[in-house]
Structure 1
Amino acid sequence: MKQHPLVRYLYLFYAFVFLLQTINVFIDSETINYILGVLSIIMLIVSFPLASGLFKILGGTFLAIGGYLFFATGQSLHVIPSLLTSNLSLLTLLAMLPWMNSIVRSGRFDRNLNLLMKVNVSDLGKLYPRSSLTTHILAAFLNLSAATISHDVLKSTLSSFSKEIRNSFITTASLRGYSLALLWSPLEIMVAVSIFATGVDYVTLLPWLILMAVTAYLLDSIFGRIYYKKYKFEQSSLTKQSMIDKKGIGKKMMQFIIALVLFLTLVIMIGNLVDLSFILTVTILIFPFSFVWSLMMKRRRSFWIIGWNNWKEKTNMMQNFIVLFISLSLFSTSLGDTAFLEAIQKPLSYVSEYPIVILFLIQVIFVFLSMFGIHPIATVGILTGIITPLLDILNPVSIALVLITGSVATFTVGTYGLLVTLTAMGTGQSPYRITVQNIPFAIGMWVLGTLVAYFLL
């Protein structure tokens, strides 16, 4: 279907709405909030035809149910715009993420990490933990781009092995390393959504998230080391590895890690000192941090070129998330004004004595729905009615942890998810095969998340 030329400039409209939303966080004007609601309706109307089929179904379902619940409460129609702005802050954060991606690319950190992956490895068992860690570090800043970069490098590195071995290695090492980064990264939207849904501080969650990420990485690395050590590299490949400038790459990686630690520190410090929400702090900090970083590396020109084009492209393609988040706002707000929450509060009280069952089932729901193409953000929306009363029964930190671990597990086993689909396309294998191969890892994440969350009750 041919698109109208104006579609290429949607990023200007979206950017205006997101800027106005950020300004209004500080002004807190009801008038501007209402205007934002009207603009949200326009965004929804413009974005809906451009969204994918799955997100049209999800958005349409949330709108239909939310609309029904709204009219059931007997409220006036003029109230609707004010109900659609609750998730604009999440959309604003999504729009800013490409700038962080761009600084990593302009500084060529992705290339150096990939070179570091190959140094002094004689078999796939030694390469496995390094590949997983490399993808992990890249994903902390690059998100989905990290997976495609890792796939390309591993396909080249493992060209001497059979397709079956190569695909198995990529399916496990890259997908699991990628998902573990999303467990704690302040740039991961599911971390932001879980914090948004439970009201827990990021700094409270961070130590536990890092603990789970490190534990899962070590256990998975042991598996990879044992399982793949029988596959040896050819002598010619070892010769090429010895030619890599280890000192130069090590220095570059140290800069990268320092920048990552500094960004996390600033997010925590600014959020506490100025009393800003986690989502707003990350949103505001991304661009100035990236720009100053580019100046220090003397990469300002490449940062602007890569960043501007990357930002325009990504912002111009936000239709799926705009449809989902705005429709989810109507659903969530309307749900809160009905007696439905009280109806599910009662059955929950019967199982409140078995919180470990509740925590485990929340994670199972994430993975189960992901196998039918349901995005974890949509799953949070579906679980909204359950999550709210649970916050009065269980520790909100525990709820946030299982929401995050449950959503992260979906990235490795979501048959129709974007990451599994990209991996299937890149490796030429069935997405169902990828799902089956990573189910043990997903179950391990459920168990780990449930145990840590139960410990904190």
Structure 2
Amino acid sequence: MGKRSSHARLFFYSLLVVLYFITIFLPSKAVMTAFGLVGLLCILLSFPGADRLYQMVGFLFLASGIGIAWVEGISPKNVSDHFVSPVMLLALLFVLSFFQSLMKVGSFDQALSRLLSARAGHLGKLYIRGTFASYLLTVFLFFAAIPIAHDLLKRNLAGISPSLQKKFLSRAILRGFALGTVWSPLEVLIALVAEMTRVDYTAMLPWLLLFSLGLLAADGTMGYRRHSAEWSGCDRLPPGDDRGRRRLFLLPVVLAFFLAFVWLVQSLLHVRFFTAVTLAMVPYAAVWAAMLGRLKRYVRHSFSNWKRQTPQLQNMVLLFLSVGFFNGMIQQSAAIDGLQTLLHRVEETPLLLFLTIQLFMLGMTFLGISTLVTLSFVGVFIQPLLENMNPLSLALVLVTSSVAPDVAGPYNSTVILMSERTGLNPYRISRWNLGFSLAFGGAGVGLAYWLL
């Protein structure tokens, strides 16, 4: 039964994404009807295999949406319209594995290994390299970056105490992950914020890059000073070869050309940025694999990833589609007018609002609530504020508040992955990184307030 359910999710999730792409170019009534029906079927298929939290949240949003529709007399005929934005996010997750395959078959992870294996001198230098390696891996691989960065970095820490190793790894890797995630064009949280606020990614990118690089430099400087007197055993490790360096320098080129290609697709097809990302990712990765002479290997690896990872999207399918349906219903109801009245006074104290969002997002992770769930909830209530408050400021606060828990949220996937690798209690890792998480959020609030 489990295998058949997995095959059903693989087929219908893939069909939903294909239909989404078709609706972009052929938004006919028949296609939209099929799209809506497949979306409803995907919700039903996702319930049995979803985690308990996502089952509860999905049921709550769906039941609330149905209740609003019944009370307000809203017709369910246009239910497929409410699935378009959520499925765009799912499409981004769906095609992400194809980009990750390029990083693997292109041996970019090996190039980063050579970077870390070069002569370092002391832990201060290794901290900067480790954070930067985690930063680069994250931009391309997301969660897969954590175990890869851990294994690469740990090889270079022989000779120091296990406790110092674990603290060093937990700080360097998670902080590099958060700083890389906060601006990545492949990050689903940013895509979700862009859909909520209708702020284009290109408007956020310069500020998110400034935020990311500024904090990367500041944390690297402090990490260098903190660890510069510790352990000078890195000199024994051999330097990387020229081939590894060339492959490493190719990483930013791959991303830069990808962004340029996405902007070209966006301008030609007149679609939103993250829709262009989903359309551009597979052909772009395939072309790069062909240029590297590894197209056949890339196709095999991508096919394997598609079969393995797509059926595991049930949590995201259930969450995004149920939230999309609820948002569609509440936007058509009289409740939105009452919400606007309730939040009118908040507009007069934006700094308090921004701080509340940051602390609320971080606090909910300590209760075990997923960041995606919390962000979806907050996104519903900030809609009335978008008319009278700078949407860019709200978008930046939502992005930074969503990413800050990646460093210190004890139930976040990132901290749990690091906990599994180091054998530490997640709360200990959170304690080591809580100060950075609060500084990360505070910097986001400061930037957003400055841009009002």
Report the TM-score, using the length of structure 2 for normalisation: 0.96
Q: Which residue of 2 aligns with 1:29?
A: 28
| SS of residue matched to 1:160 | coil
The 5 A counterparts of 1:49-88 are 49-78=48-77, 80-88=79-87
Q: Which residue of 1 aligns with 2:144?
A: 145
Asked whether the equivalents of residues 74 and 329 of structure 2 are also in contact (C-alpha less than 8 Å), the reply is no
- Percent of residue pairs identical: 31
By how many angstroms is 1:239 displaced?
Answer: 2.3
What root-mean-square deviation, in Å, do the aligned CA atoms of Structure 1 and Structure 2 show?
A: 1.7
Segment of structure 1 superposing worse, 352-361 or 340-349:
340-349
C-alpha deviations, 1:372-425, integer Å up to 9, x for none? 222222222211332111111211111111111111101112211111111111
C-alpha deviations, 1:144-171, integer Å up to 9, x for none? 1111101112222213221211111111
Q: Which residue of 1 aligns with 2:343?
A: 348
The 5 A counterparts of 1:14-413 are 14-78=13-77, 80-234=79-233, 237-242=234-239, 244-245=240-241, 247-413=242-408
Consecutive unaligned residues of structure 2, counting only runs of 5 or more, are none
- Over 3 Å counting, the alpha-carbon distance change for 1:76 and 1:262 in structure 2 is closer
Asked whether the equivalents of residues 116 and 153 of structure 2 are also in contact (C-alpha less than 8 Å), the reply is no
C-alpha deviations, 1:202-257, integer Å up to 9, x for none? 111111010000011011112211212222133xx522334x31x22221112221
Asked whether the equivalents of residues 10 and 311 of structure 2 are also in contact (C-alpha less than 8 Å), the reply is yes
Given residue 72 of structure 1, which amino acid in structure 2 is its aligned partner? Answer: V
| SS of residue matched to 1:415 | coil
Asked whether the equivalents of residues 124 and 223 of structure 2 are also in contact (C-alpha less than 8 Å), the reply is yes
By how many angstroms is 1:85 displaced?
Answer: 4.2
CA distance in 2, matches of 1:377, 1:383: 10
Consecutive unaligned residues of structure 1, counting only runs of 5 or more, are none
CA distance in 2, matches of 1:169, 1:132: 10
CA distance in 1, matches of 2:109, 2:187: 18
CA distance in 2, matches of 1:233, 1:6: 54
CA distance in 2, matches of 1:390, 1:43: 32
By how many angstroms is 1:82 displaced?
Answer: 4.8
CA distance in 1, matches of 2:50, 2:125: 43
- Over 3 Å counting, the alpha-carbon distance change for 1:301 and 1:438 in structure 2 is same
Asked whether the equivalents of residues 37 and 85 of structure 1 are also in contact (C-alpha less than 8 Å), the reply is no
| SS of residue matched to 2:151 | helix
CA distance in 2, matches of 1:148, 1:232: 24
C-alpha deviations, 1:336-366, integer Å up to 9, x for none? 1223322232232223222122122222221
CA distance in 1, matches of 2:293, 2:377: 46
Given residue 436 of structure 2, which amino acid in structure 1 is its aligned partner? Answer: F
CA distance in 1, matches of 2:279, 2:85: 18
CA distance in 2, matches of 1:240, 1:19: 49
CA distance in 2, matches of 1:85, 1:217: 36
By how many angstroms is 1:76 displaced?
Answer: 4.2
1:428 to 417, 423, 434: 423
By how many angstroms is 1:27 displaced?
Answer: 1.5
By how many angstroms is 1:266 displaced?
Answer: 1.8
C-alpha deviations, 1:22-65, integer Å up to 9, x for none? 11112222332222111111111111101122211221222222
Given residue 24 of structure 2, which amino acid in structure 1 is its aligned partner? Answer: V
- Runs of 4+ aligned structure 1 residues displaced above 6 Å come to none
Number of corresponding residues: 452
CA distance in 2, matches of 1:29, 1:413: 46
Report the TM-score, using the length of structure 1 for normalisation: 0.95
CA distance in 1, matches of 2:359, 2:29: 40
By how many angstroms is 1:86 displaced?
Answer: 3.8
CA distance in 1, matches of 2:36, 2:134: 39
C-alpha deviations, 1:109-147, integer Å up to 9, x for none? 011112202312111111111111111111111111111
